[in-house]
A and B are shown apart, each in its own frame.
Chain A
Amino acid sequence: MTSDAELGLRDRLARLSGVKLLRGTRLSAEFERLQRQLERLKDDTSDEEIWQRVELARHKDRPYTLDYVERILDDFFELHGDRGRMDDHAIVAGIGKLEGRTIALLGHQKGRDLKERTKRNFGMAYPEGYRKAVRVMELADRHGFPLVTLVDTPGAFPGVAAEQHGQGGAIARSQAMMMRLGVPTVSVVIGEGGSGGAIAIAVADRVLMQENAIYSVISPEGCAAILWRDASQAKKAASAFRLDAAHCLDLGVIEGIVPEPVGGAQTDVDAAALFLRESVVSHLHELDGTASDDLRRARRAKFRSMGVFA
């Protein structure tokens, strides 16, 4: 190992320990596991390891937004519709109680069986879905409810009607709205963080990823088809992208990693929900009491600083 790599590793570990990942000590085993995971970054993570995360992120039994909602929130009331045209079932939203106070939550929702997948359009939203998101963000802001978003989409839906209804503009406006919010915001990528369809609802004070979630600018398959001119090179593309949580933390794109049960969130949904709840609550606690202007200022400064150039 070169000294450069050692320095890089120390820096990464320092950064991780600086991240208030979870409250309490009972999750220290997960913390250690994550440290080992980060340590492995010093060697090149193999294409195969990263691809395993892609497969877990897309696992058919992986918990979706509503699986977490029923385990994390009390008294949930679902909100429907964009107040203009329709209710997009690929994005669910509502208000509920988290540790006794009302929060607003919205997230992508994939379907479990064929019928529900069709209804949810595989978690790929139309512009109406993003307009529904914006309406719920406005509601949260108006009433001082913290906003939690759960990201899990292959991407925004690419279709004729979606374009005619203004997909690009809707995604842009949803991000702009998140920049304006005066309430604390936490986003967690819980599965696939696919491109513009994901960032549309992930411009938050704290952005987290579950251990086996992925976050990327284009799907590995899409990238492989364009850059390698061969969609079967998706594994190579996935590892070139560094789309796993540890690398996204390393790149400064996210603030923390939410542990999952060994083997992935689908092996024990209750445990996965507990970890998720702990992480979200701990980050919201840290943001509590910050003035709206300060929240906005810090959020904007964070996104303003992203990128690498000389």
Chain B
Amino acid sequence: MVEMSATDKVDVSIEHKQVTLDDGTVKKHPNTCPGCGSHYRDDELQASLRVCPQCEYHFPVRGLERIEQLADPGSFAEDESALRSGDPLEFFDLRPYTERLAEAEESTGLGDAMITGSALIEALPCRLAVMDFSFMGGSMGSVVGEKFARACDHAAADRLPLVSVSSSGGARMQEGILALMQLPKTICALEELHASGGVMISVLAHPTTGGLLASFASLGDVLVAEPGALMSFAGPRVVAQTTREKLPDDFGLAESNLRFGHIDRIVPRQELRPVLAQLIRLFRRTA
């Protein structure tokens, strides 16, 4: 890597580098790069696809912004956006689940942690199923499961490739055993898509862990991951606590998964769109 001087750092708003939360804890500002400490305005990050121009750290991307990055401008048509979660267990931990859902919807503007629809990528038609980690940690409950299943149905019916972008901490605990059932449910829908001759390309963004890695995200025809993405069934903290093993520095990261043969390629975000277009072309059935 090229050595950086202090003046290379883009640092326009030092006063915003830290935010103080309600409970008094100080948190790094989301636009401050954890890799090199550079700080960016939001429009700068948006222009760089939320990749740090200095050190290539990949910042998290919200669902709709991801779709903007991947789809041809104006080509995305969202579907199934009216789906909302029920509260089958009337779950209440420190707060009711319904309250958490309402708050997540208000803060993200989304109905749940997955956005689905049709789009063009480099003029190639496809279906998208994109997760948004900011909605309750991207957790998979009934709505995420149903949306993914319907995305498979649409892809099969329209004979279009399905591209999924996962970013999730796993199953949504507040839906209990029904959240666990979203694993076989999404796998089942994907099986039907595959049986119809359809293809699913799975993009694993940071983080893809737990129930997501143990279901559809692992079963794409091709798996590509973003650099540095954590993709592990059990999280590093759980593994460290359970086994008291010293974890390797690259534990569960995309780079380690590539080395052990679990993914096909690590794709930097700037290359994701052309790589997806290439794959869609390769899988296209010639008439």
Contacts and interface: CB of A to CB of B under 8 A. Distances in A.
B173 A179 contact: no
Contact of B247 (A160, A196, A241, A304): A160
B178 A307 contact: yes
B231 A304 contact: no
A179 B171 contact: no
Interface stretch (A8-16, A87-95, A167-175, A264-272): A167-175
B107 to A, nearest CB: 19
A31 to B, nearest CB: 24
A233 to B, nearest CB: 9
Given A159-B239, A310-B84, A172 B178 contact: no
Given A160-B248, A306-B178, A300 B171 contact: no
Given A162-B234, A164-B260, A227 B94 contact: yes
A153 to B, nearest CB: 13
B142 A308 contact: yes
Interface string A241-253: 1110000100101
A85 to B, nearest CB: 12
Contacts of A159: 234, 239, 242-243, 245
Contacts of A228: 93-94
B277 interface: no
B213 A172 contact: yes
Given A215-B177, A240-B176, A306-B142, 15 more contacts: A156-B234, A158-B233, A163-B239, A165-B260, A168-B233, A172-B217, A196-B211, A223-B173, A227-B173, A236-B93, A240-B92, A304-B188, A307-B143, A308-B86, A308-B87
Contact of A227 (B93, B146, B242): B93
B232 interface: yes
Contacts of A163: 232-234, 239, 251-252
21 contacts: A159-B239, A160-B245, A164-B260, A167-B233, A173-B218, A176-B187, A179-B188, A196-B211, A200-B214, A228-B93, A240-B176, A241-B176, A241-B177, A242-B89, A243-B176, A248-B177, A253-B181, A307-B142, A307-B146, A308-B178, A309-B142
Interface residues of A, number: 52
B157 to A, nearest CB: 15
Contacts of B190: 176
Contacts of A304: 149, 185, 188-189
Contact of A307 (B185, B239, B248): B185
Given A159-B243, A227-B93, A304-B188, A168 B177 contact: no
B54 interface: no
Given A175-B187, A309-B84, A217 B251 contact: no
B85 A173 contact: no
A69 interface: no
A172 B190 CA distance: 11
A253 B178 CA distance: 7
Interface string B90-133: 01111000000000000000000000000000000000000000
A203 interface: yes
Contacts of B234: 156, 158-159, 162-163, 167
A179 B251 contact: no
A164 B257 CA distance: 7
Contact of A303 (B146, B181, B242): B181
B83 to A, nearest CB: 5
Interface in A215-245: 215-218, 222-223, 226-228, 236-237, 240-243
A270 B227 CA distance: 55
Contacts of B197: none
Contact of A168 (B83, B192, B214): B214
A160 B85 contact: no
B41 interface: no
Contacts of B260: 164-166
